[in-house]
Chains A and B, each alone.
Chain A
Amino acid sequence: MSILVDKSTKVVVQGLTGEAGTIHGNGMLDYGTQVVAGVTPGKGGTSWESKKGAKVPVFNTVEEAVRRTGADASVVFVPGIAAADGVMEAAAAGIPLVVCITEGISIMDEVRLRAYLTRTKTRMIGPNCPGLITPGETKLGIMPGYIHKPGDIGVVSRSGTLTYEVVWQLSALGLGQSTAVGIGGDPVQGTDFVDVLELFNRDEKTRAVVMVGEIGGTMEEEAAEFIRKNVKKPVVAFIGGQTAPPGKRMGHAGAIIQGGKGTAAAKYEALQAAGVATVRSPAEIGRTMKARLEGKAP
């Protein structure tokens, strides 16, 4: 078991024929993901060929791609100016899971997108995220697949490369992952920590969860509240940006301390109060999980 995606997931890639779509279309196929369709308006009827010679049909619309291939998830590599439209198109076509990799969508478009999606049954992961992976089965995203190992640790993170770092630490200690989800670094997201924690909590295969938060917003505090009330599984949490100056955006659009709110200290405090094993050093996340599972950490 895993959450959200597994080897049966059929993926349509929006923007497959573009530069990023081509690189990661290949990456996903190499990992074993069922990439069944591509969508590029104006290139319908053609096909996209992977480096290894696999041919994937390209459609003009997501609706047609779904109708012809039965795709049940989409990965969006559409440029920022059109990405929100791309996600809406996927939702309108009835796709239940849309992973939006695109970075740099305007905040107002993200607000519009969020409002649109609340009227649909579609879950969006992202935007501005590395995607998600169920190791050994499928990946919908841009992460280096080989660092992951199948296992029973759930990983959820607002970051990209820091998620890779955490996964790498876990794998090196023999702790495989059930599913690793990058929810993205933007201020308005489709899926938050609580959503993913809820899924991991219900997932029988997931034994424990690593959560990687960062400064800005209140998502970690909400997660702490949820954990306190609902989660019996061990949770290890790290918060990035402990040294970040207030009022400055630290790369991610959402990583900013505003009006004294959104500090790492406040998030750590809330998580600790919820019984989460918090870790201050980013080099100790894997080891903290291992100790926790062996009953050695608080």
Chain B
Amino acid sequence: MNLHEFQAKEVFRKHGIAVPAGIAAETPDQAAVAFQKLGVPVAVVKAQIHAGGRGKGTFYESDLKTVRLQGGVKLVRTATEAKDMASKILGFPLVTKQTGPQGRVVRRVYVEAGCEIDRELYLGIVLDRKAGRPVVMASREGGMEIEEVAERNPEAILKETFDIGHGLQAYQARRLAFGMGLSGESFKQYAKIVGQLCRLYVERDCSLLEVNPLVVTKQGTVLALDAKMGVDERAIDLKKQPELEPLRDVEEEDPVEHEATSYGLNYVSMEGNIGCMVNGAGLAMATMDIIKQAGGAPANFLDVGGGANKDQVKKAFKLLLANGSVRALFINIFGGILRCDVLAQGIVDAVKEVKVSVPVVVRLEGTNVEMGREILKGSGLEITAASDMADGARKAIEAAGLKK
């Protein structure tokens, strides 16, 4: 689960991490009021979406063709300017490197006190999978994407992994601060912020914490000028983070993926036209691969899980068919815990109830497979049986009319 910048900064404040003063606004009038409340000579109006690259992004008219405005982060000097800028931004799609061509409609802006920047640094914390512990990454090149720096100049990234029980040690924070070339008051502040961010990462079950840039102001103060925070979905599911739960913004999530999650299904949208329903994530990925190899394109990834019931199968059908570009369905099941007869009955019931309008190809194998095949055959429905995965992929593509 990702947080907006303004939400992440609120969390930062609670953890004692220095951020500039700021207020979120959903209307131009609110933006004007926010500017007045801040009482600063210069403020920044920042579009709030769950994607990076906002500063270099482009606003489009709702048709996504005509350019409206360059840049999702704008300087303003009066309440009127703040209001005008908000009205130019709110309700329009912002396209950045990370949003894809359809962009994201901006529903909120964050009005934040401006500051005089001396230096821009990068700080990020992620899981180091190999080490099995979090790693802090720091570089002097704030404002740059870390992947770019890693590509171009990997030595410029300093890394410190830490044990979550002990936290980041003071010497590690010092090593990073020295590495950033800091001294005096800003050295102390930097070392403190790094330690606080590591604590926040652990206490809030973060999957990602990124401050890009972390700035040193002309006055020598160290501030988190941006804040990107991702929270482990499982910690949310397990109710480990009740305070963060309400911060989920479903508008920022793929509606179909979100619906799937609420049914306990794993779904990822793709561009193709062969809908897939598979049990197990590994087999689901392999099914997408074999569809591609057979000359088709998968419309989705869908894992109904090891213990899917009839109701979930029905919901899965509805999800697949809600995608208008789907021209055939390929159901690939290896029955283990999920018995083939139970699944076959689920398919038959769902096809009858949901009014499936596209050809359905089913490949069944595993526990009670003979019973399952009999149920499909005896149903009187037009379901094409496949002998193995490759055969199923081929038949689904044929049925979709993509290949004769």
Count B interface residues, CB 8 Å. Answer: 55
With beta carbons under 8 angstroms apart, the residue of B127, B270, B367, B389 that contacts A282 is: B389
**Residue pair A161, B266 in contact (C-beta under 8 Å):** no
Are A144 and B335 within 8 A (Cβ)? yes
- Say whether A280 faces chain B, with CB atoms less than 8 Å apart: yes
A80, B270: Cα distance in complex, Å:
30
Q: How far is the CB of B96 from chain A (nearest CB, A)?
A: 13
Complex contact B286–A282 (CB within 8 A): yes
Kindly identify, within residues 16 to 49 of chain B, every residue whose CB is under 8 Å from any CB belonging to chain A.
none
Chain A's closest residue to B279 (CB) is: A161
Q: At the interface, yes or no: B301 with Cβ under 8 Å from chain A? A: yes
Do A238 and B286 have beta carbons less than 8 Å apart? Answer: yes
- Structural contact, A160 and B280, CB atoms closer than 8 A: yes
Quick check: is B382 within 8 A (CB to CB) of the other chain? Answer: no
Are A245 and B268 closer than 8 Å at their CB atoms?
Answer: yes
**Which of A104, A157, A281 has the largest count of B CB atoms less than 10 A from its CB?**
A281
In contact, A115 and B133 (Cβ under 8 angstroms) = yes
Contacts of B283 in A (CB 8 A): 159-162, 165, 282
Residues in B whose Cβ lies below 8 Å from that of A162: 280, 282-283, 285-286, 334
Among A161, A162, A240, A254, residue most surrounded by chain B Cβ atoms (within 10 Å): A161
Contact with B along A142-168 (1 / 0, CB 8 A): 111001000000000111111111001
A214 to B301, CA, bound (A): 14
> Is A71 engaged at the interface, CB distance under 8 Å to the other chain?
no
The 8 A CB mask of B293-318 against A (1 = contact, 0 = none) is 10000100101001000000000000
- What's the Cα separation between A144 and B238 when bound, in Å? 29
Residues of chain A within 8 A (CB-CB) of B235 are: 106-108
Cβ contacts under 8 Å, B165 to chain A = 112, 115
Q: Does A187 contact B (CB under 8 A)?
A: yes
Mask of A264-282 contacts with B, CB within 8 angstroms, 1/0: 0000000000000000111
Cβ 8 A contact of A159, one of B129, B268, B282, B289: B282
- Does A111 touch B at the CB level, under 8 Å? yes
CB nearest to B338 among chain A residues: A161
Cβ-based interface call for A43 (8 A): no
A241 touches B133 (CB 8 A): no
Q: Does A260 contact B (CB under 8 A)?
A: yes
Give the residue name and chain of the A residue nearest to B291 (CB).
A243
Q: In the bound complex, do residue B237 and residue A281 qualify as a contact, i.e. CB atoms below 8 Å apart?
A: no
Q: How far apart are B24's CB and chain A's nearest CB, in angstroms?
A: 26
Contacts of A142 in B (CB 8 A): 306, 336-337
**Min CB gap A26→B, angstroms:** 12
The SS class assigned to the A binding surface is loop
- Which of chain B's residues have a CB closer than 8 A to the CB of A104? 234, 237-238
Return B295 CB to nearest CB of chain A, in Å. 13
CB closest residue in chain A, given B289: A242
Question: Chain A residue with minimal CB distance to B235?
Answer: A106
B133 touches A254 (CB 8 A): no
Within the assembled complex, what's the spacing in Å between the Cα atoms of A147 and B306? 17
A251 vs B389: C-alpha distance when bound (angstroms): 20
CB-defined contacts of B291 to chain A, threshold 8 Å:
243
Beta-carbon contacts under 8 Å, B132-187 to A: 132-134, 146-147, 150, 163-165
A108-B205, A260-B147, A281-B390 given; A250·B285 CB < 8 A: yes
Complexed CA–CA distance, A75 and B361 (Å): 37
- Decide if B280 touches A159 in the complex (CB within 8 Å): yes
Is A207 interfacial (CB-CB < 8 Å)? no
CB distance from A9 to the nearest CB of B (A): 21
Q: Which of A158, A159, A188, A216 contacts B132 (CB 8 A)?
A: A188
Contacts of A282 in B (CB 8 A): 283, 286-287, 289-290, 389
| Chain B residues near A187 (CB-CB < 8 A) | 127, 129
CB distance from A260 to the nearest CB of B (A): 6
Task: Find out whether the CB atom of A161 lies under 8 angstroms from the CB atom of B205.
Answer: no
Partner of A106, one of B130, B238, B280, B335: B238
A283 on the interface (CB 8 Å rule)? yes
Residue numbers in B under 8 Å from A245 (CB-CB): 268, 270
* Min CB gap A155→B, angstroms: 13
Interface mask (A232-261 → B, CB under 8 Å = 1, otherwise 0)? 000000101111110011111111000110
B306 touches A160 (CB 8 A): yes
Report whether A147 and B366 are in contact in the complex, using a CB–CB cutoff of 8 Å. yes
- Asked if residues B336 and A240 are in contact (CB atoms below 8 Å), the reply is no
Identify 30 residue pairs between A and B in the complex whose beta-carbon atoms are under 8 Å apart, listed by A's number: A80-B238, A104-B234, A107-B232, A107-B234, A110-B132, A115-B163, A143-B336, A144-B336, A159-B280, A160-B280, A160-B336, A161-B278, A161-B283, A165-B286, A165-B334, A187-B129, A219-B130, A240-B289, A241-B289, A242-B292, A243-B289, A243-B291, A243-B292, A250-B301, A251-B284, A252-B281, A253-B234, A255-B285, A259-B147, A259-B150
Residues of chain B whose beta carbon lies under 8 Å from any beta carbon of chain A: 127, 129-130, 132-134, 146-147, 150, 163-165, 202, 205, 207, 232, 234-235, 237-240, 266, 268, 270, 278-293, 298, 301, 303, 306, 334-337, 365-367, 388-390
| Residues of A bordering B, CB below 8 Å | 23, 80-81, 104-108, 110-112, 114-115, 130, 142-144, 147, 157-165, 168, 185, 187-188, 212, 214-219, 222, 238, 240-245, 248-255, 259-260, 280-284
Closest 7 CB pairs of A and B: A159-B282, A251-B281, A161-B280, A162-B282, A282-B286, A240-B285, A283-B390
